[in-house]
Amino acid sequence: MHTMPTDQRNELQRGRLVALVERLRDLDSDYWRAKLSDVDPGRVAAGDMTALPFTTKAELRDAYPFGTLAVPLSETVRIHASSGTQGKPTIVAYTAADIDLFSEVVARSIEAAGGVSSDVIQVAYGYGLFTGGLGLHYGGEHLGATVIPASGGNPGLQVELLANLGVSGLCCTPSFAMLLAERAQADGMLDRIHLRYAICGAEPWSDPFRDNLEKAWGGIDACDIYGLSEVIGPGVAMECRAGKGALHVFDDVFYPEVIIPGSDAAAAPGEPGELVLTTLTKQASPVIRYRTGDITTFVDEACPCGWTYRRIRRFTGRVDDMLIIRGVNVYPSAVESVLMQEARVGSQYALVVDARGTMRELEIHCELASGSEGEDPAAVARRLSEECARILRIRVEVFVGPPGSIPRQEIGKAKRIFQRTDTEDPFPRT
C-alpha cells in the first residue's frame, strides 16, 4: 500500500466510497437517511465528492450519543470520546475491524518515524477516553514492538524508564517531550537515554520547536502525527523522517480534501484551506466530508521516502484558533516560530490576550534558555518584540523571565493561550 501507483489508489478509493454510501443508505437510521437522501449515487461512483454533504462537529454533538452509529451497538468493542471542552463530547464507537484499522494506521505512522519491530516504545500520551494512549499502544504492538504504557505525567519516572528500559521511541505531546528532555538533563540521565525518534502530536508545534526538541535529545527524529477522535484518533496522517514538513495522509482509508475556509469550494492548488476527511472503511462511526477545522494545503511533490500517499503541509493553525489582534489575524504557531528562532529563549511560553479594551492586545511571556542566565532579559525582549513587528506585523509586549519561570504542564495538551479580563489575570505584570 505504501507505494501503490496513484491511479490504482484512486480506483480503490472510488470503490470503497461507493460501498460506504450504499451501506449507509440502506441503514435503518434517521441520521443517515436524512443525510444521504438527496445523494446521486451516479456522481459518487464517478468520484464526485461534491455529491456528498459535509459533516460538522456540531452535527455530531447533536447526534449524541449514538445517533450516527452505523452498526448495532452489540457489534462494537470500544468507545472513545472527544474532550467535550466546548459542550457535549463526540462519541466514537469501534468494531473489532475498526480497532484493527486503528492499529494498522498507527503502526504505519511509527514505521514512518523510523520504528521497527525490535524497538522498545514508551507511550506517554494519556490513556482513557482520549484516543492517544491506546492508539499508539495498539499501533506499537501491531508493529511488533515492545510497548511501555507509561501514560502521562510523572516526568521523573518517565525519564528513569527511558534510561533503564532501553527505549528507542517516545510517543507524547511535543511539550511533554521537551519537558522530559529538560528533566533528563537536570537529573544527569541524558547520556543514558538512546532515543532514535519521537512521535509527537495532539497540540500545535512549529518547525523551529522541532529543531530545538531534536537537539535537546541529541539529534533524534521528531515527527508529527495527526488525527482526531471523530475520524479514528492518531494515525490519520504522519510525517516521515525523510520528508519532514509534510504528512502522509493514509488515503486508502481516509480520503482528504482541502476547501476554502467558510465555503464549500475546493481551495486552489497550493493555497491553504480547511482539511476535510471521509472515512472510507470505518464500520461503527463513519464520517463523510468531515470539516476538521485544521488549516493545511496539499503537497504534490514526491516524498523522498517513496511512499505515494497524498501529502499535506504541516498545519498552520485552526479555523477557530486564529487570534485577531488590533484587526490583524495571528496564528499562535506563527508566534512560536518567532520565539524558537531566538537561541537565548527556552521552549516554554505563554500568549496572553488582553481583552479588557476595545481592541485586543497580545503579550508574550517566555523564559531564558538554560545556560543563558547571564543574558539581559530586557534586551532579549526588545529583540523579540522587534521580530514580531517585522514578521507578524503586530506590536506586542514581550516579557522574558529566568529559566524555569513559565509553569510546566505534565499531563495533557500544553496550554499556550490565556486571556486577561477585568476579573482574571493569569500572568500579572511585575
- DSSP 8-state class, residue 55: B
3-state secondary structure of 175: helix
The residues near 408 (Cβ < 8 Å, ≥ 6 apart) are 179, 348
pLDDT in tens, the chain (430 residues): 999 999 999 999 999 999 999 999 999 999 999 999 999 989 999 999 999 999 999 999 999 999 999 999 999 999 999 865 556 789 999 999 999 999 999 999 999 999 999 999 999 999 999 999 999 999 999 999 999 999 999 999 999 999 999 999 999 999 999 999 999 999 999 999 999 999 999 888 889 999 999 999 999 999 999 999 999 999 999 999 999 999 999 999 999 999 998 889 999 999 999 999 999 999 999 999 999 999 999 999 999 999 999 999 999 778 777 787 876 778 788 898 899 989 899 989 999 998 888 778 899 999 999 888 788 999 999 999 999 998 888 889 999 999 989 988 887 778 888 989 889 899 987 6
Q: One-letter amino acid identity for 420?
A: R
Q: Count other Cβ atoms within 10 Å, centred on residue 270.
A: 10
CATH class of 323-420: alpha beta
Residues of the chain with CATH 3.30.300.30: 323-420
How far CA 262 is from CA of 125, 267, 273, 344, 351, in Å, comes to 33, 11, 9, 39, 26
Angstrom CA distances, 280 to 256, 310, 430, stand at 10, 15, 54
Cell of 409: 504542564
Global confidence as pTM: 0.83
Tell me the CATH architecture of domain 95-318.
3-Layer(aba) Sandwich (3.40)
Question: How would you classify the pairing of strands 273-279 and 290-296?
Answer: antiparallel
* β-bridge partners, 238: 225, 248
As annotated, the residues of the chain forming the CATH 3.40.50.12780 domain(s) are 95-318
